Structure 1
Amino acid sequence: MKLYRFLTGPDDATFCHKVTAAVNKGWHLFGSPTYSFDADSKTMRCGQAVVKDVEGVEYDPGIKLSDF
């Protein structure tokens, strides 16, 4: 099964740590990162898609993607 996640966060070290943790758990970067202004909070937000192949597991909409 192929899993997909879109990680988001503020433009600070916590976002970089979130992506780093995912990569170290076997996720792979997918596409280019995004960078956008959040008018409500008046801050910049980052986003990065990641994917991962998991063998021997069937997809179920109830799975918690961060467990992989």
Structure 2
Amino acid sequence: MLIYRFLTGEDDAAFCHKVTKALSQGWQLHGGPTYAFDSHSKKMRAGQAVTRAAKDQPYDPDKPLSDY
């Protein structure tokens, strides 16, 4: 089964660390990053999809995706 997550955050070092942590845990980049201007906060927001194969586990919608 392929697990999908979409990571988001302010376009800063903390967001880069969030993506780097996911990669270090076996997640892989899925496509390129996205950027959008948040007019409420007046800051850029970033997003990055990541996927990871989860073998021999049934999908459970109540289980956090980071636990797969």
TM-score when scaled to structure 1?
Answer: 0.95
After TM superposition, what 4+ stretches of structure 1 lie above 2 angstroms from structure 2? none
Q: What is the Cα deviation at residue 48 of structure 1?
A: 0.2
Matching residue of 1:12: 12
Deviations 1:43-62 (A, max 9, x none): 00000000000111000111
**1:7-37 residue CA offsets vs partner (Å, 9 max, x unmatched):** 0010110000000000000000001100110
Partner of 1:66: 66
Matched AA of 1:17:
H
Question: What is the CA–CA distance in structure 2 between the aligned matches of 1:67 and 1:47, rounded to whole Å?
Answer: 20
The equivalent residue for 1:47 is 47
SS at match of 1:31: coil
Where 2:61 maps in the other structure, the secondary structure is coil
Which residue in 2 is equivalent to 1:32?
32
Over the matched positions of the two proteins, sequence identity in percent amounts to 59
- Structure 2 residue identity aligned to 1:16: C
Gaps of 5+ in 2: none
